[in-house]
Amino acid sequence: MKKNENFITVVDVGSSKVCCLIAERSQDNSQELEIKGIGLQRSDGIKNGSIVDMEKVERSIRQTVQTAEKMAKVTIENIIVNFFESRYESRRFKTALNINGGEIGDQDLKKIWHNCIKENITEDQKVLHTTPINYSVDGKSGISDPRGMYGKKLECMFHIVTTSQQIISNLKSCINRCHLEVGQIVLSPYASGIACIKPDEKKLGVTCIDIGGGTTSVATFVNEKFVFAKTLPIGGENITNDIASGLSTSISDAERIKTTHGSVIPTNLDENESIDVPLLVGDEEGSDIHQIPRSLLNGFIRPRLEEILEHVRDSLENSGIKKENYQFIVATGGAIQMAGIRELISQFMENKQTRIATQPKRFKGEAEATTGSSFATVKGLLEHARIESSKDDFRSYNFMMNKTNLAHKIITWFKDNLNPL
């Protein structure tokens, strides 16, 4: 087995699957990553984005990582994992710092961040992400980097994502039981967003909607800054369950029928097109076949999708982000494969320009099986690691979020200038 200093390992834990990617850093300082190991299996112990059985989650993670290790021929000790829970808060805070007419430097930006955390975040909260959205100097706003400027008062609007320490402890416990350490925890909607969003979309303003198995997540970027996130405990599995219940078929057959024949746009042919549905009779699966019109199947799909999109729309309306600040909608996830999904999303998002991201960011060495939209989050975790590892200044806030406690985080960051990994 190789030493793992030159490897980055990311694990996406979801309600429907667990995926692990092991990538090797380029030796020529090009920041390029090449995937050397892949692990993938069905998830167990997670329902609608929450851990319901820690032992099963532990087993799923361990087996997935071991599969990737064998393929990469490397032993892994440290991983970057997604935060898949829906129980977190995405908030924005404005904080001020007196400069007294001096030149603004790195220490001032560290101080204003420290003040924001101290004023707004309690000890029982865990900070997952911090983004400085906008600086202002003596009332002049719209400043992306105030270093080198002179002024009396520095202000900053921060976007901070927090969750409870208990939820983080449960996640870390599952991973530690696998004899692995958590290097960093990254919010799932953020990861999906950076894997799917194009640079121009991120600059002009975009919301990424990831409709997964057990959850649907939302991430909004304005002027290239991550400004809002929300995860809803409802997703494609709810649609599958509706079909299975309504048609008296198995979950596996319902998923297959949904993916193969499902649509959210009604047509004149739906009534005349028949679909074979294996029925559950007693304890025997598939012992009888029943034919239904396609319109009946779509009658289960569209109402649930509309419910999901209504929740997404409500979340955005309650976010405080002005609608005109994001011009685009990008949709991804395992549940976006059905015909007509782009038109339906656009309809619910006030006809904003909508794009379906069927192939998130690609990396050298990846298998064709991991190129689809179901792998947006794990690709985003790897892209995040690549971006952050190239930073060596104060702006790399998110690495600081994953030390053992807040006091240690602040002290270490001040000393080491944000280079924890």
**In this predicted structure, what is the pLDDT of residue 413?**
43
Distance CA 375, CA 118 (A): 36
**In this predicted structure, what is the pLDDT of residue 283?**
55
Angle between helices 236-247 and 251-261 (to 10 degrees): 110
**In this predicted structure, what is the pLDDT of residue 415?**
39
Question: Alpha carbon 20 to chain centroid distance?
Answer: 15
**In this predicted structure, what is the pLDDT of residue 28?**
72
Is the fold of 89-163 the same as that of 198-356? no
* Three-state DSSP state, 63: helix
Q: What is the DSSP letter of 123?
A: T
Distance CA 30, CA 409 (A): 29
Q: Decide: 219 and 192 in contact? Cβ < 8 Å.
A: yes
Say which CATH superfamily domain 7-86+165-195+361-411 falls into: ATPase, nucleotide binding domain (3.30.420.40)
Q: Decide: 217 and 229 in contact? Cβ < 8 Å.
A: yes
Distance CA 22, CA 77 (A): 12
Q: The tokens of 85 are what?
A: 């829970």
Run of H or E residues at 7: strand 7-13
Residue 224's alpha-carbon distances to 92, 184, 197, 398, in angstroms, are 16, 22, 10, 16
* Four-residue CA torsion sign, 217, 176, 378, 204: positive
Domain boundaries, the chain: 7-86+165-195+361-411, 89-163, 198-356
- CATH fold for domain 89-163: Dna Ligase; domain 1 (3.30.1490)
Q: Can you tell me which residue has the tokens 């299975």?
A: 244
Q: Can you give the length of the chain in residues?
A: 421
Q: Which residues contact 310 (CB under 8 A, 6 or more apart)?
A: 348
**In this predicted structure, what is the pLDDT of residue 282?**
54
Distance CA 182, CA 25 (A): 19
Q: The tokens of 23 are what?
A: 């990538």
- CATH fold for domain 198-356: Nucleotidyltransferase; domain 5 (3.30.420)
Main-chain dihedrals φ then ψ at residue 321, nearest 5 degrees: -85, 125
Distance CA 160, CA 344 (A): 31
Q: Mark 159-172 as b/e (b = at least 16 C-beta within 10 Å).
A: bbbbbeeebbeebb
For 96-117, the DSSP string reads: EEE-TT-B--HHHHHHHHHHHH
* Three-state DSSP state, 36: strand
**pLDDT per 10-residue tile (average), the chain, 421 residues:** 77 94 82 92 90 94 96 95 95 95 94 95 94 95 94 96 96 95 96 96 96 95 96 95 95 93 88 90 65 94 96 96 93 89 93 92 86 92 88 46 43 40 35
